[in-house]
Amino acid sequence: MAKIVIIDDEPSVLQLMTKLCSGLGHEVFSLMTGSEGLQTISKESPDLLIVDLKIGDMSGIEIIEQCSKNHPGMPIIMVTGFGSVETAVEAMRQGAFDYLTKPFELDDLQRTLNRALKISSKESTQTDETRVAKIKPKSQLIGNSPEVKEILRVVEKIANNDSPALLEGEYGSGKQIVARAIHDRSRRCDEPFKILHCSALPEDLLEAELFGGDGRETIFARAHGGTVVLEEINVLPVRLQSQLNSFLDELGNLKLHGSDNEGPDFRLIATSTERLEEWVDERKFREDLYYRISVIPIMVPPLRKRKEDIELLANHFLQNYSNLTGSKRKEIDKFAMNFLTNYKWPHNVGELQNAIQRACALSEDKRIRPTDLPPKITNKVEINDDENAAIKHQLPIGSKLSDYIKKQEKVFIRETLKYNNGSREKTAGMLGVSIATLYRKMGLKVERDKLLNS
């Protein structure tokens, strides 16, 4: 059993990481501030630290610097958001063992945690391997559409042959999920699964991640035995395209001739938001590298072209939200589901996930209705503004009839007031209501005695 300190100021993320580590038999200390974390580290001398890059009272970089100085040899795993990958890479230069980008799979955390513990002087490799139970990978391709079934067929067929795969498709279409499915179904499933976002780093740091420098271990070495995913390889600068092609060529020759120093062992998967074959024709991408990485090409279709999968995905995200918050799973009524399946989803699966999370947060009971969905997803009825007829509001179909009636009542009352030059008494008489009812429908407050005497 190892001692693990986790520092993260997001309660839900902290809870998930704590639950995983405790379930593996470790003694876990969960903190939400850097100051408390450093105090606990000094008191407990843990075997491993997991720390978020951004914490309220101090940065993760500060914590890493202090721990590297005061607790040398203690492995540190950095957790960071996608937009902070550059800083996380810098943190590794300061002494962090590895980093994970949010959102991450729990089995990714477990694999990284296991590797980090193996280098801890307080944990023997044998003890670590016999103590840690294997967690079944949670990644899965969700869908019954012909497109997804075909992708699944290809994934099952090529999972163990180690040939490089190129996944092409729009942003958010699910390329990373397909890459993960290939890894999870292969003989490498228990080894590291590392993703390098080529668009997230400046050229110098991207080069360091790919080819090393300053004594830095490359992403290929950190993923030894597992899978490396180069996301958005289409943005890789031409100079680095040439270096990558030479590196892969040299690595292939070493393996072919059975060299004693074969280099890192990994399965390469690249993703692209552009059709690289067209880019090769336009001389935007190196032809030799294209043919090297696209032995197995897979096109991942956008969500709008596989509507059959939308309901399955929506229910999957509902279950994820329920698991994350510890709440009872909500249901989507048929009207809301109709809007979901007919929307075009320009931002694909990620947009659907965001819409479901928003709806779960806004819905007031166990059922998600059209009014809980983002306005751009639902059809709308145009109505006038209560105060200015020139302003139009959009009321989603699926709203209560009383909501529409109240809006229109106010518009009619306002126009009648104009006709009567602002006289509320004449307006009430013309509309056949009491002055008290008129005030209430207008949303105005009035003195109680005045109402009683009206």
Residue 141, domain member (yes or no):
no
Same domain membership, residue 119 and residue 23: yes
DSSP string, 197-228: ETTTS-HHHHHHHHH-BTTBPPHHHHTTTSEE
Same domain membership, residue 283 and residue 154: yes
- Map residue 47 onto helix, strand or coil: coil
Residue 40, domain member (yes or no):
yes
- Domain finish residue from 131, 155, 182: 131
**What confidence tens digit (pLDDT) does each residue in 38-74 have?**
999 999 889 999 998 888 788 888 888 888 778 877 8
Dihedrals phi, psi of 289, to nearest 5 degrees: -70, -40
pTM more than 0.75: no
- Quote the Cα angle for 272-278-282, to 5°: 115
Same domain membership, residue 313 and residue 358: yes
Bridge-based pairing of strands 331-332 and 3-7 is unpaired
Helices (H), 188-333: 203-211, 219-222, 238-256, 276-281, 287-293, 310-325
**What confidence tens digit (pLDDT) does each residue in 295-316 have?**
999 999 999 999 999 999 999 9
Residue 425, domain member (yes or no):
yes
DSSP string, 375-442: TTTS-EEEEE-SS-TTSEEEEETTS-HHHHHHHHHHHHHHHHHHHTTT-HHHHHHHHT--HHHHHHHH
Same domain membership, residue 291 and residue 163: yes
**What confidence tens digit (pLDDT) does each residue in 70-81 have?**
887 788 998 887
In sequence order, the β-bridge partners of residue 396 are: 380
Query: Domain total for the chain?
Result: 4
Same domain membership, residue 354 and residue 431: no
- Domain extent, residue 260, equals 146-301
Same domain membership, residue 292 and residue 183: yes
Residue 48, domain member (yes or no):
yes
Q: What is the pLDDT of residue 416?
A: 87
Over residues 266-294, mean pLDDT: 94
Same domain membership, residue 408 and residue 355: no
Give the C-alpha distances (Å, rounded to integers) separating 273 from 55, 185, 279, 347, 354. 33, 24, 11, 12, 21
- Domain finish residue from 372, 403, 426: 372
CB atoms within 10 A of CB 85: 21
Q: Is the pLDDT of residue 205 over 80?
A: yes
Give the domain CATH number at 77. Answer: 3.40.50.2300
Give the domain CATH number at 257. Answer: 3.40.50.300
Same domain membership, residue 105 and residue 94: yes
Residue 344, domain member (yes or no):
yes
Cα distance between residue 101 and residue 257, in whole Å: 37
